[in-house]
Amino acid sequence: MQQTKLQGVSVGLSGGELKLGNKAPEVSLVAADLSEVKVSGGTGKARVIIAVPSLDTDVCATETHKFNERAASIKNTEVFVVSMDLPFAAGRFCSTEGIKNLRALSDFRDKEFARAYGVLIADGRLARPQL
């Protein structure tokens, strides 16, 4: 089991570990309007996927703002931020914070993304950024 630190405490991560060159796993996530969004590799477009525990934390909000700014100038690329936030909370964050160049998606339903990308703390929380 992979390990990471959360507030100085070692925690185990569930799921697989992606290596450079691996095809991105296909997962289903939930958009603010509750529609299902499939995210995977092999779409013909580059994809940037940012994983954060919650958009309502200072570090994650700052990271999302920075990627939103950069996403405006990236051509032929889709940018997503994935969190465990409820879809409504992610939608509210994007609308109140002016996030328009990336799409916020939620993994709250079954943690499929967190498991597939190896960022799920064994007790169920999203653990760390993964690009």
- In angstroms, rounded to a whole number, what is the distance separating the alpha carbons of residues 4 and 27? 23
Report if residue 130 sits inside a domain. Answer: no
At residue 7, what is the residue type?
A: Q
Each residue's pLDDT tens digit, 21-44:
888 889 999 999 999 999 886 667
Q: Which domain holds residue 56?
A: 27-111
Is position 34 within any domain?
Answer: yes
Q: Looking at residues 107-116, what average pLDDT do you find?
A: 92
**Is 131's pLDDT higher than 50?**
no
| Cα–Cα–Cα angle for 122, 127, 131, rounded to 5 degrees | 125
The CATH number linked to 33 is 3.40.30.10
Catalytic (active site) residue 94: no
Q: Count the domains in the chain.
A: 1
Integer Cα distance of 117 and 96 in angstroms: 29
pTM attached to this predicted model? 0.85
Assign 20 a pLDDT band (cuts: 50, 70, 90).
confident
Task: Tell me, yes or no, whether 126 lies in a domain.
Answer: no
- The confidence score (pLDDT) of residue 41 equals 66
Catalytic residue among 50, 55, 60, 89, which? 60
Q: How far apart are CA 7 and CA 24, in angstroms?
A: 28
Structure tokens at 8: 């100085």
> What's the farthest any 2 CA atoms get from each other in the chain?
40
> What gap in Å lies between CA 83 and CA 35, rounded to an integer?
16
Contact criterion met (CB below 8 Å) for 109 and 30: yes
CA 65 to chain centre: 14
The answer to whether position 36 is within a domain reads yes
Position 81 in a domain: yes
